[in-house]
Structure 1
Amino acid sequence: MAKTIIHTDNAPAAIGAYSQAVRAGDTVYMSGQIPLDPATMEVVGGGDFRAEAVQVFKNLQAVAEAAGGTLGDIVKVNAYLTDLGNFAIFNEVMAEFMPQPFPARAAIGVASLPKGVQVEAEAVLVLNA
């Protein structure tokens, strides 16, 4: 099975040795997104967790659309938070962006994330499901 690299200028460019997403068959593996503005590559939110989470979902949405899907096609989300006290806010933001039924999800507390952000999320989506 061939793999297809997914890239869009509407999401932050990769800041390492990875692709924004890779499609294998009807499955798209989306790399972790942090709250970077794709135009400036600067962190959004000024330390406001909700603003950071909103930008993360905007970035995931842009990559999903570049792959030919939507956030509704996501089957699994992995969220990484530097403070699990923000878990309820993450849930609220996720519910604003993603339709029901919601995908499977893991939320993991981590010591730190790139560029000092408070949240990162990665996802797997299935097209034509």
Structure 2
Amino acid sequence: MTTKTFIQPRGMAEAVGPFSRAVLIGEYLHIAGTTALSHITGDYYERYVPPGIEEQTRLTLDNIKMCVEDAGGTMDDIFKVVIMLKNPEDYRKMNAVRGEYFRNAPPISTCFRAEVMRPDILVEIEAVAWLPNAGKR
């Protein structure tokens, strides 16, 4: 029987709406859209977010890393990402930072231009990981 486990990494703020940070279904970890302010507590619209795309991408991927590690995996277990990018001209800078996190096994990827809930958020990323040893550790 496949089980469903909700993941809320220690040190990460609660989700800002009625959704979970991540859910492990069987061997697959689905990580919700994540931004650079996901680790900060307090009112969503009052939280600080750094202004640059490199720092936002780095913090976003650090938050995703927290989720996958909390479920018992590594960044190499992520096989798919969906990236919402506010400014297409930031694509190269975002990609350079992303390459730091996915050196060994770059995931399949979709990237599109999108506005998210705050005008100062430049990037949001969701991810899916395969954790074949989930529940066996």
**Do the two structures share a fold, i.e. TM-score over 0.5?**
yes
Aligned position for 1:89: 93
Root mean square deviation of aligned Cα: 1.5
Aligned position for 2:17: 16
TM-score (norm 2): 0.86
Alignment of 1:60 onto 2:64: yes
Q: Which runs of 4+ in 1 moved over 3 A?
A: none
Alignment of 1:109 onto 2:113: yes
C-alpha spacing 1:118/1:39, structure 2 compared with 1 (3 Å) = closer
C-alpha spacing 1:122/1:83, structure 2 compared with 1 (3 Å) = same
Aligned position for 2:5: 4
Amino acid at match of 1:21: A
Query: Counterpart of 1:115 in 2: which secondary structure?
Result: coil
Which shifted more, 66-75 or 92-101?
92-101
The unaligned stretches of length 5 or more in structure 2 are: none
**Rg larger in structure:** 2
Q: 42, 48, 59: which is aligned to 1:43?
A: 48
* 1:58-79 superposed Cα distances (whole Å, 9 cap, x missing partner): 1000111111111110000000
Q: Percent identity?
A: 27
TM-score (norm 1): 0.91
Q: In 2, Cα distance between the equivalents of 1:63 and 1:12?
A: 12
